[in-house]
Amino acid sequence: MEVLTGLMHGFGVALQPLNLLWCFVGVVLGTVIGIMPGLGPPATIAMLLPLTFLMNPASAMIMLAGIYYGAKYGGSTTSILLNVPGESASVATCIDGYQMAKKGRAGAALGIAAIASFVAGTVGVVGLMLIAPPLARMSLAFSSPEYFALMALGLAMVVLLAGRSMVKALLATLVGLWLAGIGTDLFSQTSRFTFGQMELLSGIDFVVVAIGVFAVGEVLANMEQRQETPMIEVPKGLRNLLPTLQDLKDSRFAFVNGSVIGFLIGVLPGAGSTIASFISYGVEKAVSRHPEKFGHGAVEGVAAPEGANNSETGGALVPMLTLGIPGSGTTAVLLAALVLWGFKPGPLFISENPAMFWGLVASMYIGNVMLLILNLPLVPLFAQVLRAPVYVLYPLILGISVVGVFSTSGSLFDVWLLAGCGLLGYLMRKLDFPSAPLILGLVLGGAMERALRQSLMMSDGHLSILVSRPVSAVMLSLALLILLVPLFNKFNTWRLKALDS
Amino acid sequence: MKARSADFWSGLALGGLGAYIIVVASRWEYLGPDGPGPGFFPLWYGIVMAVLSLMLMVSSVTSKDGSMIDWSGARSAFLTWGAFTLMVATLKLAGFVIGFGALTFFIVLVMYRKPLKVAAFTAIGLAAGFYVVFPLALGVQLP
């Protein structure tokens, strides 16, 4: 009953003309950036974040979330037509999607990708709506030690799945924690790591680091390759984009598989949509009566990963909104957006901001319908984005990054920091240091230190408080286990194989 | 450059950062009457950072991994970054519109080797577009 009341309230918010417009803008923008290889949702959301300060927070959140799940729809287009994933979550779609396109079934592949995305995306929102409120109520019992343990567990999960080298992922997290520690310590008013710079007394703005590492770093990385890839023509006409009844029948289990696996993986911090789509693809192939068709244009091989990467979005928002723990770079930017607008994501978020939460949930239902309607007939139009000259796109991204950072603080110092963070982001890519742990360390660093210090104040300085409370003891043990298990060769080999796939 | 030697140098740089954090954090209060001081948390992550950096360096020395990092395209990335930094440095003097126009001109002409006319047209078009959209339409101040 509570869910239904909340949802009605949410539709009241989401159906306001202005919010509908922002939802539309978000999903269209998301689709476009999903189509463009080399520009991902975290970079786009980080770049646009400063501009949302002029907007109503609910509208802004609806738009940014639209970019997040819209990009998952768009990502499949390049995977199918170019064999180049528009974003990492669509890598698995290349395997069978491109093969279908080569056999003249590009329209059916694009159609089934859109339908799977719609079905699983909607299931993901249902999961978010049903699981988030009880989880938030449960976590109300958490105190500082449990919060510290939860953040440690979240970071450990991200480190486990972030890259080939756990040492590098851990080091990236620690650099994030250090960046979060720069500025005035609010407990003692001590200025830390400010190098005598007045501008650093209030700390480093998250927006600067996120835009630098994701957007500027991505542009620099893309400047390395300037070749164009041949594209398979998109069939004209809606009829050519509709899969056959047999395609839909063959994909029925893939819809369920993608929806369930995507959502469950999404809830886990660190796993993300790329892993969700590969697991879903693997399961689909394992249970298929015709596994030999996979890799040669099996329609289920498109439906399962596309469903999973869309359902994952709903799952990823559960820990972010109810516990304040983001599981990926994109949700970290969304979390920072909520904090910058004055909200406090966590157990009280839903009860204190019902309009924001339920409005977001309702807008995701509407956004998924918009995406299905847009994606089926307009795929040929969206595909034209791939013909846009990159020599216009990259300066545009750099310009928006500078204006975005400057508009947040009005300080040229921050623009210098942006240039520094851009170089850092590029070097991290070259040297195989994952960037998501750095961003998560930066987002969670302040809260993590606060929770640890409050815990120790509660116990007169005894660290035993962290392990004497059952919930925090279990979570810290799990975090330790996650970090230690890869020391055993067998498990690490499995982990690396999973990441390689 | 071999991947393992890049790991060695990045481990060394991060080890230096870890050592710096330890030295600076040890000057701040670790544990006071009201609980942990400002040096408590940084000291611990500084120590962990130093240890992990050392592990990265040791593993890079003992590793038999012969994979290489492809730096062939890095020149373009560094050149673009240099031009971007130059734009930031001249923002106070030249303003955003001129600085950004020059950066765009450089990227299109030098990095993408497009004809002069295309570069000039793109630079003027984008710079003018920014001026129209941000200060005029949205009321957002440019640097």
Q: What is the pLDDT of residues B52-81, one digit of tens each?
A: 999 999 988 887 776 777 777 889 999 999
Token readout for B16 is: 């230096």
How confident is the model over B82-103, as pLDDT tens digits?
999 999 999 999 999 999 999 9
**Chain A positions in Cβ-Cβ contact with residue B68 (cut-off 8 Å):** none
Choose, out of A189, A224, A396, the residue to mutate when testing the contact with B (most B CBs < 10 Å): A224
**Residue B102 shares a structural domain with residue B55:** no
**Residue B79 shares a structural domain with residue B134:** yes
Q: What is the pLDDT along chain A (501 residues), one digit of tens a residue?
A: 788 898 999 999 999 999 999 999 999 998 888 887 667 788 888 888 888 888 899 999 999 999 999 988 888 887 888 777 767 777 788 888 888 888 888 888 888 998 999 999 999 999 999 999 999 888 888 889 998 998 888 888 777 766 678 899 899 999 999 999 999 988 888 899 999 888 899 899 888 998 899 889 988 988 887 655 566 666 666 566 778 888 889 888 999 999 999 998 888 776 677 778 888 888 888 888 888 888 888 899 999 999 998 999 999 999 899 988 887 778 888 998 898 888 888 888 999 999 999 999 999 999 999 998 887 777 777 777 777 788 888 899 899 889 988 887 888 999 999 999 999 999 998 998 988 889 888 988 888 999 999 999 888 888 889 899 998 999 999 888 888 876 666 666 666 666 665
Nearest to A38 by CA among A402, A397, A316: A397
Rounded to a whole number of angstroms, the distance from the CA of A486 to the nearest CA of chain B is 15
More confident residue, B37 or A237: B37
- CA of A232: how far to CAs of A125, A266, B84, in Å? 33, 32, 35
DSSP string, A131-186: HHHHHHHHGGG--HHHHHHHHHHHHHHHHHHH-S-HHHHHHHHHHHHHHHH-EE-T
* Domain range for A456: 2-226+234-500
- φ, ψ for residue B34 (rounded to 5)? -95, 5
**Cβ atoms of residues A262 and A273 within 8 Å:** yes
Q: Does the residue B69 lie in any domain?
A: no
Structure confidence at residue A237 (pLDDT): 62
Rounded to a whole number of angstroms, the distance from the CA of A409 to the nearest CA of chain B is 11
The beta-carbon neighbor of A177 closest among B38, B45, B52 is: B45
Q: Do B45 and A403 touch (CB under 8 A)?
A: no
Chain CA centroid to CA A70, Å: 11
Query: Could you give the number of structural domains in chain A?
Result: 1
Neighbours of A217 (CB within 10 A): 25
Structure confidence at residue A181 (pLDDT): 93
Place of tokens 């409050």: A454
**Residue B57 shares a structural domain with residue B80:** no
How confident is the model over B124-139, as pLDDT tens digits?
999 999 999 888 887 7
First to last CA, chain A: 43
Query: Could you give the number of structural domains in chain B?
Result: 2
**Alpha helix stretches (DSSP H) within A324-411:** 329-340, 349-352, 354-383, 390-409
Quote the Cα angle for A330-A336-A340, to 5°.
Answer: 145
- CA of A499: how far to CAs of A21, A417, A496, in Å? 39, 32, 5
- CA of A214: how far to CAs of A252, A397, A425, B34, in Å? 37, 11, 7, 39
Rounded to a whole number of angstroms, the distance from the CA of A277 to the nearest CA of chain B is 28
More confident residue, B142 or A234: B142
Q: Do A412 and B41 touch (CB under 8 A)?
A: no
Place of tokens 């959140």: A61
Q: Do B42 and A181 touch (CB under 8 A)?
A: yes
**Cβ atoms of residues A314 and A258 within 8 Å:** no
- List residues bridging with B36 in a β-sheet: B31
ipTM of the complex: 0.93
Nearest to B36 by CA among A179, A147, A460: A460
Structure confidence at residue B123 (pLDDT): 96
Q: Does the residue B97 lie in any domain?
A: yes
Choose, out of B10, B98, B122, the residue to mutate when testing the contact with A (most A CBs < 10 Å): B10
Structure confidence at residue A161 (pLDDT): 67
**Residue B55 shares a structural domain with residue B79:** no
C-alpha A31/C-alpha B67 separation (Å) is 36
Structure confidence at residue A368 (pLDDT): 92
Q: Do A177 and B134 touch (CB under 8 A)?
A: no
Q: Do B140 and A407 touch (CB under 8 A)?
A: yes
**Residue B58 shares a structural domain with residue B83:** no
Structure confidence at residue A387 (pLDDT): 74
Q: Do A412 and B143 touch (CB under 8 A)?
A: yes
C-alpha B24/C-alpha B44 separation (Å) is 12
**Residue B84 shares a structural domain with residue B133:** yes
**Cβ atoms of residues A58 and A356 within 8 Å:** yes
* Domain range for B85: 74-138
Rounded to a whole number of angstroms, the distance from the CA of A48 to the nearest CA of chain B is 13
**Cβ atoms of residues A465 and A459 within 8 Å:** yes
Q: Quote the pTM value.
A: 0.82
Last residue of a domain, one of B35, B62, B89: B62
**Residue B53 shares a structural domain with residue B28:** yes
**Residue B19 shares a structural domain with residue B56:** yes
**Residue B116 shares a structural domain with residue B81:** yes
Rounded to a whole number of angstroms, the distance from the CA of A477 to the nearest CA of chain B is 18
Choose, out of B49, B63, B93, the residue to mutate when testing the contact with A (most A CBs < 10 Å): B49
Structure confidence at residue B139 (pLDDT): 77
Under 8 Å CB-to-CB from A238, ≥6 apart: which residues?
A: A376, A377
The beta-carbon neighbor of B35 closest among A193, A432, A456 is: A456
3-state helix, strand and coil shares in percent for chain A, rounded to the nearest 5: 80, 0, 20
Structure confidence at residue B141 (pLDDT): 82
How many residues are present in chain A? Answer: 501
**Residue B87 shares a structural domain with residue B113:** yes
Last residue of a domain, one of B62, B84, B110: B62
The amino acid at residue A86 is G
**Cβ atoms of residues A171 and A432 within 8 Å:** no
- List residues bridging with B35 in a β-sheet: B32
C-alpha A268/C-alpha A162 separation (Å) is 13
